[in-house]
């Protein structure tokens, strides 16, 4: 019996020692551990796909990288904003909270690329660069590029009254930001970073989206072009719309739409929408198995962005939802202008856009 007690104590001491060593190792390698938890290492294995993305890029870094991309388009060296951000993430372990440090890495990479260094040379030996490039391309891949948009004809005299809606329009080819804030221009809203906070309706869970508080009837805008994949009632989201990007990597979820008149009248499953289109109207429906019920206390839009690297991730325990608060802050610079049709009570964008 005495020997058995000694043996048990030895086993316990060994377990405690191993636990302590593991804790020290995890602390010393906390950036690598964090990357591992986002499946960076798993993504490097042949035949696998990314299982998790912890998107922490700040609005400031998004804006700075975007401006490098936009301003160098058509130049001898065109700097890709996603490559800049992936380089910075590989240097910081995906943490952009130190704005000064992130800016320094962005500027360092931009300068070296401008001077003739290739991305391959710049990132040689960076273990996780490829992971961040793939992950950030999945998040941001449809937001910047060439497109055509309607603009007022400079040769024509502007009309009075409704103004821009009555002006002769022409198509103009552009390069730049082609994604939009999900709230129409001129409509107020308030928000804060609420990703991951607790929700209790139905069952206890984390909030996997971003809430934007506003007024009932505020026009809701398609952030990115794509296809309507879901349309109808959900007891959690109320009237909701799900739009999949053309490259199938992103699924945008717009929830709690207006009671009685939630959607644009011509919208249906399978419809193609352009970034900047009015797709629905803000409300506070949901938290009910019965359709068209306002059980949400505060009027708001719930926007969720889901990443899909493999179709097995579309629904179930392996879904990847990202914190899109910083993306929303970045997209504030591009808001869709809309006008109301008094006959149908619908809102429509003033300036159409088409993908190139």
3-state secondary structure 132-150: HHHHHHHHHCCCEEEEEEE
Domain boundaries, the chain: 2-37, 59-140, 190-355
Burial-class residue 112 by CB neighbours within 10 Å (0-12, 13-18, 19+): middle
- Cα separation, 79 vs 72, in Å, equals 6
Contact 254, 303 (CB under 8 A): yes
Contact 243, 224 (CB under 8 A): yes
Question: Does this model's pTM top 0.75?
Answer: yes
Query: Count of CB atoms within 10 A of residue 84's CB?
Result: 26
Q: What is the pLDDT along the chain (356 residues), one digit of tens a residue?
A: 444 444 445 444 444 444 443 333 333 333 322 343 344 444 444 358 999 999 999 999 999 999 999 999 999 999 999 999 999 999 999 999 999 999 999 999 999 999 999 999 999 999 999 999 999 999 999 999 999 999 998 754 444 444 444 668 999 999 999 999 999 999 999 999 887 786 656 566 677 899 999 999 999 999 999 999 999 999 999 999 999 999 999 999 999 999 999 999 999 999 999 999 999 999 999 999 999 999 999 999 999 999 999 999 999 889 999 999 999 999 999 999 999 999 999 999 999 999 98
Widest CA span in the chain: 101
* Predicted pLDDT of residue 154: 74
* Predicted pLDDT of residue 181: 98
Cα torsion 134, 129, 57, 208 to 10°: value is 50
Q: Give the start-end residues of each E strand in 34-183.
A: 144-152, 169-177
* Predicted pLDDT of residue 199: 67
* Residue whose token pair is 């493999």: 310
Q: Give the start-end residues of each E strand in the chain.
A: 144-152, 169-177, 190-191, 198-199, 205-206, 210-213, 219-221, 226-234, 238-245, 250-255, 272-273, 278-281, 300-307, 320-322, 338-341, 346-349, 353-355
Q: Which long-range contacts (CB under 8 A, 24 or more apart) does 66-73 make?
A: 66/144, 66/177, 66/330, 68/106, 68/110, 69/144, 70/144, 70/175, 70/176, 70/177, 72/114, 73/175, 73/176
Phi, psi (5° rounding) for residue 327?
-65, -40
173: which strand partners?
148
Half-sphere exposure of 15 (CA within 13 A, CB side): 6
- Cα separation, 349 vs 347, in Å, equals 7
- Cα separation, 321 vs 313, in Å, equals 10
Closest among 144, 143, 64, 54 to 102, alpha carbons compared? 64
- Expressed in angstroms, the distance from the first to the final Cα of the chain is 80
- Cα separation, 237 vs 243, in Å, equals 14
CATH architecture, range 190-355 = Distorted Sandwich (2.70)
């Amino acid at each position: 019996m005495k020997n058995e007690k000694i043996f048990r104590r030895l086993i316990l001491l060994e377990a405690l020692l191993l636990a302590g060593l593991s804790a020290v190792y995890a602390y010393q390698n906390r950036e690598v551990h964090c990357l591992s938890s986002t499946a960076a290492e798993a993504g490097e294995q042949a035949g696998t796909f990314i299982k998790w993305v912890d998107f922490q890029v700040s609005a400031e870094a998004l804006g700075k990288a975007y401006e490098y991309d936009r301003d160098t388009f058509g130049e001898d060296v065109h700097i890709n904003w996603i490559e800049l951000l992936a380089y910075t993430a590989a240097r910081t372990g995906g943490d952009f909270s130190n704005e000064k440090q992130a800016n320094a890495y962005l500027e360092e990479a931009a300068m070296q690329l401008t001077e003739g260094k290739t991305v391959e040379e710049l990132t040689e030996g960076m273990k996780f660069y490829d992971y961040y490039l793939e992950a950030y391309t999945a998040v941001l891949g449809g937001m910047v590029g060439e497109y055509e948009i309607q603009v007022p004809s400079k040769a024509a005299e502007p009309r009075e009254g409704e103004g821009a809606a009555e002006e002769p329009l022409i198509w103009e080819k552009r390069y730049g930001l082609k994604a939009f804030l999900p709230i129409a221009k001129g409509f107020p809203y308030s928000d804060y970073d609420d990703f991951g906070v607790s929700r209790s309706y139905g069952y206890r869970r984390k909030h996997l989206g971003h809430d934007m508080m506003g007024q009932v009837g505020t026009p809701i805008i398609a952030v990115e072009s794509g296809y309507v994949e879901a349309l109808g009632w959900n007891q959690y989201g109320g009237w909701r719309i799900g739009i999949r990007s053309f490259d199938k990597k992103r699924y945008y979820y717009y929830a709690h739409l207006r009671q009685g008149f939630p959607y644009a009248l011509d919208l249906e499953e399978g419809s193609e929408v352009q970034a900047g289109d009015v797709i629905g109207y803000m409300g506070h429906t949901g938290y009910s198995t019965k359709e068209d019920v306002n059980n949400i206390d505060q009027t708001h839009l719930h926007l969720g962005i889901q990443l899909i690297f493999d179709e097995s991730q579309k629904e179930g325990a392996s879904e990847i939802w990202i914190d899109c608060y910083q993306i929303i802050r970045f997209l504030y610079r591009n808001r869709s202008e809309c006008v109301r049709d008094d006959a149908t009570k619908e809102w429509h964008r003033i300036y159409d856009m088409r993908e190139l």
